[in-house]
Amino acid sequence: MKRAKIDIVYDMLKAALDKGGRILPTHLLYKSNLSHQRMKVYIDELMQRKLLAQTEHKGKMHYEITDEGRKFVADFAKVKEFTQAFGL
Amino acid sequence: MINVYLHGPSWFLGVDAALEALAAFIALLVTLASYRTYCATQERRHGYFTLSLGLLTLSFLSRSIADSLLRGIFITLSETTAALIFFAGYVIHIMLAFIAYIILVCITHKISDKRIAALLFMTLIPGLLLSGSYYRSFYGLSFIFLAFITFAYYQNHRQVKTRSSSLVFEAFGLLAAAQIQFLIQGFYILPGDWWNTLFVTAHVTQALGYLFLLFALLRTRLVTNETRKNRHRV
Protein backbone atom coordinates (compact mmCIF):
# COMPACT_ATOMS: atom_id res chain seq x y z
CA MET A 1 0.00 0.00 0.00
CA LYS A 2 1.27 3.45 -0.94
CA ARG A 3 2.49 5.45 2.06
CA ALA A 4 0.86 8.80 2.69
CA LYS A 5 3.07 11.89 2.88
CA ILE A 6 2.48 12.13 6.63
CA ASP A 7 3.72 8.52 7.07
CA ILE A 8 6.92 9.24 5.12
CA VAL A 9 7.59 12.37 7.20
CA TYR A 10 7.00 10.35 10.39
CA ASP A 11 9.30 7.52 9.22
CA MET A 12 12.09 10.02 8.50
CA LEU A 13 11.77 11.86 11.80
CA LYS A 14 11.39 8.62 13.76
CA ALA A 15 14.56 7.28 12.11
CA ALA A 16 16.45 10.35 13.31
CA LEU A 17 14.93 10.05 16.78
CA ASP A 18 15.82 6.35 17.04
CA LYS A 19 19.43 7.26 16.28
CA GLY A 20 19.53 9.63 19.25
CA GLY A 21 18.17 12.61 17.37
CA ARG A 22 20.98 12.80 14.80
CA ILE A 23 21.32 10.68 11.63
CA LEU A 24 23.69 10.40 8.69
CA PRO A 25 22.18 11.09 5.23
CA THR A 26 22.92 7.54 4.02
CA HIS A 27 21.22 6.03 7.08
CA LEU A 28 18.24 8.29 6.60
CA LEU A 29 18.03 7.25 2.95
CA TYR A 30 18.04 3.59 3.95
CA LYS A 31 15.54 4.02 6.83
CA SER A 32 13.09 6.20 4.92
CA ASN A 33 12.95 3.74 2.02
CA LEU A 34 12.94 6.47 -0.62
CA SER A 35 14.97 7.23 -3.72
CA HIS A 36 17.71 9.84 -3.29
CA GLN A 37 15.75 12.30 -5.40
CA ARG A 38 12.52 11.88 -3.40
CA MET A 39 14.39 12.03 -0.10
CA LYS A 40 15.99 15.33 -1.12
CA VAL A 41 12.53 16.81 -1.76
CA TYR A 42 11.29 15.65 1.66
CA ILE A 43 14.45 16.85 3.46
CA ASP A 44 14.13 20.29 1.87
CA GLU A 45 10.51 20.49 3.04
CA LEU A 46 11.30 19.24 6.55
CA MET A 47 14.11 21.76 6.88
CA GLN A 48 11.86 24.52 5.57
CA ARG A 49 9.24 23.55 8.18
CA LYS A 50 12.02 23.48 10.82
CA LEU A 51 11.35 19.83 11.70
CA LEU A 52 14.86 18.79 10.69
CA ALA A 53 18.16 20.73 10.71
CA GLN A 54 21.49 20.13 9.00
CA THR A 55 24.41 19.88 11.44
CA GLU A 56 28.02 18.79 11.43
CA HIS A 57 29.29 16.22 13.90
CA LYS A 58 32.82 14.81 13.99
CA GLY A 59 33.48 16.26 10.54
CA LYS A 60 30.44 14.56 8.98
CA MET A 61 27.19 16.11 7.84
CA HIS A 62 24.13 14.92 9.82
CA TYR A 63 20.43 15.67 9.95
CA GLU A 64 19.20 16.53 13.43
CA ILE A 65 15.61 16.43 14.59
CA THR A 66 14.45 19.77 16.05
CA ASP A 67 12.12 20.36 19.00
CA GLU A 68 9.32 20.96 16.48
CA GLY A 69 10.17 17.61 14.89
CA ARG A 70 10.03 15.86 18.27
CA LYS A 71 6.63 17.44 18.87
CA PHE A 72 5.45 16.18 15.47
CA VAL A 73 6.51 12.59 16.31
CA ALA A 74 4.73 12.82 19.69
CA ASP A 75 1.52 14.11 18.07
CA PHE A 76 1.68 11.75 15.10
CA ALA A 77 -0.64 9.08 16.56
CA LYS A 78 -3.32 11.72 17.24
CA VAL A 79 -3.02 13.21 13.76
CA LYS A 80 -3.01 9.75 12.15
CA GLU A 81 -6.12 8.65 14.05
CA PHE A 82 -7.92 11.85 13.06
CA THR A 83 -6.96 11.59 9.39
CA GLN A 84 -8.01 7.94 9.25
CA ALA A 85 -11.35 8.59 10.96
CA PHE A 86 -12.20 11.51 8.68
CA GLY A 87 -10.90 9.79 5.54
CA LEU A 88 -8.21 12.38 4.83
CA MET B 1 -41.58 41.19 -0.26
CA ILE B 2 -40.07 38.30 1.66
CA ASN B 3 -42.40 36.04 3.58
CA VAL B 4 -41.05 34.65 6.84
CA TYR B 5 -42.04 31.01 7.34
CA LEU B 6 -41.21 29.47 10.68
CA HIS B 7 -41.62 25.73 10.96
CA GLY B 8 -42.23 23.51 13.98
CA PRO B 9 -44.49 23.45 17.04
CA SER B 10 -44.63 26.48 19.35
CA TRP B 11 -43.00 24.66 22.28
CA PHE B 12 -40.00 23.98 20.04
CA LEU B 13 -39.37 27.71 19.47
CA GLY B 14 -35.81 28.45 20.52
CA VAL B 15 -34.91 24.78 20.99
CA ASP B 16 -34.15 24.52 17.26
CA ALA B 17 -31.87 27.59 17.53
CA ALA B 18 -30.09 25.98 20.50
CA LEU B 19 -29.61 22.70 18.59
CA GLU B 20 -28.20 24.65 15.62
CA ALA B 21 -25.83 26.47 18.00
CA LEU B 22 -24.72 23.06 19.32
CA ALA B 23 -24.06 21.90 15.74
CA ALA B 24 -22.02 25.07 15.12
CA PHE B 25 -20.02 24.49 18.32
CA ILE B 26 -19.21 20.86 17.42
CA ALA B 27 -18.31 21.84 13.86
CA LEU B 28 -15.99 24.49 15.34
CA LEU B 29 -14.25 21.85 17.51
CA VAL B 30 -13.71 19.62 14.46
CA THR B 31 -12.43 22.68 12.54
CA LEU B 32 -9.86 23.41 15.27
CA ALA B 33 -8.72 19.77 15.39
CA SER B 34 -8.52 19.70 11.61
CA TYR B 35 -6.51 22.94 11.58
CA ARG B 36 -4.08 21.31 13.99
CA THR B 37 -3.58 18.37 11.62
CA TYR B 38 -3.17 20.83 8.75
CA CYS B 39 -0.41 22.62 10.66
CA ALA B 40 1.32 19.28 11.30
CA THR B 41 1.00 17.86 7.79
CA GLN B 42 0.77 20.98 5.58
CA GLU B 43 -1.33 18.85 3.21
CA ARG B 44 -3.76 20.69 0.97
CA ARG B 45 -6.72 18.32 1.60
CA HIS B 46 -6.38 18.91 5.35
CA GLY B 47 -6.60 22.62 4.59
CA TYR B 48 -9.72 22.10 2.49
CA PHE B 49 -11.27 19.93 5.20
CA THR B 50 -10.60 22.70 7.75
CA LEU B 51 -12.18 25.22 5.37
CA SER B 52 -15.21 22.99 4.84
CA LEU B 53 -15.86 22.49 8.57
CA GLY B 54 -15.21 26.20 9.19
CA LEU B 55 -17.89 27.07 6.63
CA LEU B 56 -20.31 24.62 8.26
CA THR B 57 -19.63 26.32 11.61
CA LEU B 58 -20.47 29.74 10.15
CA SER B 59 -23.48 28.30 8.32
CA PHE B 60 -25.07 26.88 11.48
CA LEU B 61 -24.10 29.96 13.48
CA SER B 62 -25.89 32.16 10.94
CA ARG B 63 -29.01 29.96 11.06
CA SER B 64 -28.95 29.81 14.85
CA ILE B 65 -28.68 33.60 15.21
CA ALA B 66 -31.42 34.16 12.61
CA ASP B 67 -33.76 31.64 14.29
CA SER B 68 -33.11 33.10 17.76
CA LEU B 69 -33.94 36.59 16.52
CA LEU B 70 -36.95 35.52 14.45
CA ARG B 71 -38.47 33.56 17.30
CA GLY B 72 -38.16 36.62 19.49
CA ILE B 73 -35.82 35.07 22.04
CA PHE B 74 -33.77 38.23 22.52
CA ILE B 75 -35.82 41.08 21.00
CA THR B 76 -39.14 41.65 19.24
CA LEU B 77 -38.67 42.56 15.58
CA SER B 78 -40.67 44.63 13.12
CA GLU B 79 -41.98 42.81 10.05
CA THR B 80 -39.38 44.37 7.70
CA THR B 81 -36.47 43.63 10.03
CA ALA B 82 -37.70 40.07 10.51
CA ALA B 83 -37.88 39.60 6.73
CA LEU B 84 -34.35 40.96 6.33
CA ILE B 85 -32.93 38.75 9.08
CA PHE B 86 -34.76 35.74 7.64
CA PHE B 87 -33.33 36.41 4.17
CA ALA B 88 -29.76 37.14 5.32
CA GLY B 89 -29.60 34.36 7.92
CA TYR B 90 -31.03 31.65 5.69
CA VAL B 91 -29.17 32.69 2.51
CA ILE B 92 -25.84 32.64 4.37
CA HIS B 93 -26.76 29.29 5.96
CA ILE B 94 -27.70 27.71 2.63
CA MET B 95 -24.79 29.03 0.59
CA LEU B 96 -22.11 28.24 3.17
CA ALA B 97 -23.56 24.77 3.82
CA PHE B 98 -23.55 23.97 0.09
CA ILE B 99 -19.96 25.15 -0.41
CA ALA B 100 -18.96 23.07 2.65
CA TYR B 101 -20.75 19.96 1.32
CA ILE B 102 -19.21 20.33 -2.15
CA ILE B 103 -15.72 20.59 -0.61
CA LEU B 104 -16.48 17.51 1.54
CA VAL B 105 -17.73 15.55 -1.48
CA CYS B 106 -14.54 16.47 -3.38
CA ILE B 107 -12.31 15.46 -0.44
CA THR B 108 -14.07 12.20 0.41
CA HIS B 109 -14.40 11.09 -3.22
CA LYS B 110 -10.89 12.36 -4.03
CA ILE B 111 -12.06 14.71 -6.80
CA SER B 112 -9.09 16.91 -7.56
CA ASP B 113 -10.42 18.59 -10.71
CA LYS B 114 -11.56 22.09 -9.70
CA ARG B 115 -13.79 22.28 -12.78
CA ILE B 116 -15.96 19.47 -11.41
CA ALA B 117 -16.27 21.28 -8.08
CA ALA B 118 -17.26 24.44 -9.99
CA LEU B 119 -19.76 22.44 -12.05
CA LEU B 120 -21.33 21.00 -8.88
CA PHE B 121 -21.66 24.48 -7.42
CA MET B 122 -23.09 26.00 -10.60
CA THR B 123 -25.77 23.32 -10.92
CA LEU B 124 -26.97 24.35 -7.46
CA ILE B 125 -27.76 27.90 -8.56
CA PRO B 126 -30.68 27.02 -10.88
CA GLY B 127 -31.59 24.21 -8.46
CA LEU B 128 -32.19 26.82 -5.78
CA LEU B 129 -33.22 29.95 -7.68
CA LEU B 130 -35.62 28.31 -10.13
CA SER B 131 -37.22 26.15 -7.50
CA GLY B 132 -40.71 26.89 -6.17
CA SER B 133 -39.52 26.22 -2.65
CA TYR B 134 -36.00 27.04 -1.46
CA TYR B 135 -36.73 24.92 1.65
CA ARG B 136 -37.41 21.69 -0.26
CA SER B 137 -34.57 22.35 -2.75
CA PHE B 138 -32.09 22.98 0.04
CA TYR B 139 -32.92 19.83 1.98
CA GLY B 140 -33.27 17.73 -1.18
CA LEU B 141 -29.85 18.80 -2.48
CA SER B 142 -28.30 18.55 1.00
CA PHE B 143 -29.56 14.97 1.25
CA ILE B 144 -27.90 14.07 -2.08
CA PHE B 145 -24.57 15.57 -1.01
CA LEU B 146 -24.68 14.02 2.47
CA ALA B 147 -25.66 10.61 1.04
CA PHE B 148 -22.56 10.71 -1.17
CA ILE B 149 -20.39 11.78 1.77
CA THR B 150 -21.90 9.00 3.94
CA PHE B 151 -21.15 6.42 1.25
CA ALA B 152 -17.53 7.61 1.08
CA TYR B 153 -17.24 7.35 4.88
CA TYR B 154 -18.76 3.86 4.76
CA GLN B 155 -16.04 2.83 2.31
CA ASN B 156 -13.43 4.53 4.49
CA HIS B 157 -14.69 2.66 7.55
CA ARG B 158 -14.55 -0.68 5.71
CA GLN B 159 -10.92 0.07 4.89
CA VAL B 160 -9.77 1.55 8.23
CA LYS B 161 -12.09 -0.35 10.63
CA THR B 162 -11.66 1.84 13.72
CA ARG B 163 -14.36 2.95 16.16
CA SER B 164 -13.75 6.61 15.21
CA SER B 165 -14.22 5.94 11.48
CA SER B 166 -17.44 4.07 12.32
CA LEU B 167 -18.69 7.04 14.36
CA VAL B 168 -17.89 9.45 11.52
CA PHE B 169 -19.81 7.22 9.06
CA GLU B 170 -22.77 7.00 11.46
CA ALA B 171 -22.66 10.77 12.06
CA PHE B 172 -22.96 11.57 8.37
CA GLY B 173 -25.63 8.86 7.98
CA LEU B 174 -27.68 10.61 10.68
CA LEU B 175 -27.14 14.00 9.03
CA ALA B 176 -28.40 12.57 5.71
CA ALA B 177 -31.40 11.02 7.50
CA ALA B 178 -32.18 14.41 9.07
CA GLN B 179 -32.27 16.08 5.62
CA ILE B 180 -34.80 13.51 4.38
CA GLN B 181 -37.02 14.25 7.38
CA PHE B 182 -36.77 18.01 6.76
CA LEU B 183 -37.62 17.39 3.11
CA ILE B 184 -40.71 15.26 3.82
CA GLN B 185 -41.79 17.75 6.48
CA GLY B 186 -41.56 20.56 3.89
CA PHE B 187 -44.23 18.92 1.72
CA TYR B 188 -46.86 19.03 4.49
CA ILE B 189 -48.30 15.72 3.27
CA LEU B 190 -48.47 14.09 6.67
CA PRO B 191 -51.81 13.90 8.47
CA GLY B 192 -52.64 15.85 11.64
CA ASP B 193 -49.73 17.34 13.54
CA TRP B 194 -47.22 14.77 12.27
CA TRP B 195 -45.38 17.27 10.07
CA ASN B 196 -44.62 19.30 13.22
CA THR B 197 -43.36 16.16 14.96
CA LEU B 198 -41.19 15.36 11.94
CA PHE B 199 -39.63 18.84 12.17
CA VAL B 200 -38.65 18.07 15.78
CA THR B 201 -37.29 14.59 14.98
CA ALA B 202 -35.33 16.02 12.03
CA HIS B 203 -33.68 18.56 14.35
CA VAL B 204 -32.98 15.89 16.97
CA THR B 205 -31.50 13.54 14.33
CA GLN B 206 -29.28 16.35 13.06
CA ALA B 207 -28.11 17.18 16.58
CA LEU B 208 -27.42 13.45 17.17
CA GLY B 209 -25.35 13.41 13.98
CA TYR B 210 -23.20 16.26 15.28
CA LEU B 211 -22.94 14.56 18.70
CA PHE B 212 -21.64 11.42 16.95
CA LEU B 213 -19.08 13.65 15.22
CA LEU B 214 -18.07 14.98 18.64
CA PHE B 215 -17.74 11.42 20.01
CA ALA B 216 -15.53 10.53 17.04
CA LEU B 217 -13.37 13.55 17.75
CA LEU B 218 -13.12 12.75 21.47
CA ARG B 219 -12.37 9.12 20.71
CA THR B 220 -9.51 10.15 18.46
CA ARG B 221 -7.87 11.80 21.46
CA LEU B 222 -8.67 8.95 23.87
CA VAL B 223 -7.28 6.25 21.62
CA THR B 224 -4.12 8.28 21.22
CA ASN B 225 -3.63 8.68 24.94
CA GLU B 226 -4.01 4.91 25.42
CA THR B 227 -1.48 4.28 22.67
CA ARG B 228 0.93 6.68 24.28
CA LYS B 229 0.54 5.08 27.69
CA ASN B 230 1.19 1.67 26.15
CA ARG B 231 4.24 2.98 24.37
CA HIS B 232 5.67 4.30 27.63
CA ARG B 233 4.98 0.96 29.29
CA VAL B 234 7.02 -0.80 26.60
pLDDT in tens, chain B (234 residues): 455 566 677 778 788 889 999 999 999 999 999 998 888 888 888 999 999 999 999 999 998 998 888 876 666 667 788 788 888 888 899 999 999 999 999 999 988 888 988 898 888 888 777 777 778 888 999 999 999 999 999 999 999 888 989 999 999 999 999 999 988 887 767 677 777 888 899 999 999 999 999 999 888 864 444 444 444 333
Q: Contacts of residue B56 in chain A, CB cutoff 8 Å?
A: none
Instruction: Quote the pLDDT of residue B3.
Output: 56
Instruction: Quote the pLDDT of residue B151.
Output: 96
**Could you tell me the residue ranges of all domains in chain A?**
5-85
CB-based contact B108 A9, cutoff 8 Å: no
Distance from CA of A58 to the nearest CA of B (A): 32
A5 touches chain B (CB under 8 A): yes
CATH 3.40.50 fits B12-228, yes or no: no
CB-based contact B162 A49, cutoff 8 Å: no
Distance from CA of B37 to the nearest CA of A (A): 6
Nearest to A88 among B46, B216, B227 (CB): B46
Q: Contacts of residue B43 in chain A, CB cutoff 8 Å?
A: 5-6, 88
Instruction: Quote the pLDDT of residue B50.
Output: 94
Nearest to A85 among B42, B46, B220 (CB): B220
Nearest to B221 among A78, A83, A86 (CB): A78
Q: Contacts of residue A1 in chain B, CB cutoff 8 Å?
A: none
Asked whether the beta carbons of A61 and A54 are under 8 A apart, the reply is yes
Instruction: Quote the pLDDT of residue B168.
Output: 94
Instruction: Quote the pLDDT of residue B234.
Output: 32
CATH of the domain spanning A5-85, picked from 2.102.10.10, 1.10.10.10, 1.50.10.10, 3.40.50.920: 1.10.10.10
A9 touches chain B (CB under 8 A): yes
pLDDT single digits (tens) A44-87? 988 988 889 998 888 889 999 999 888 888 888 788 888 888 88
CB-based contact A85 B107, cutoff 8 Å: no
Can you tell me the ipTM of this complex? 0.74
A22-53 core/surface letters (b: 16 or more CB in 10 A; e: else): ebebebbbebbebeeeebeebbeebeebebbe
Nearest to A83 among B37, B108, B219 (CB): B37
Residue B76 burial by CB count (10 A; 0-12/13-18/19+): exposed, middle or buried?
exposed
CB-based contact A79 B40, cutoff 8 Å: yes
Question: For chain A, what's the residue count?
Answer: 88
Chain A CA closest to residue B53:
A86
Instruction: Quote the pLDDT of residue B225.
Output: 47
Window A:56-85, CB contacts with B under 8 Å: 72, 75-79, 81-85
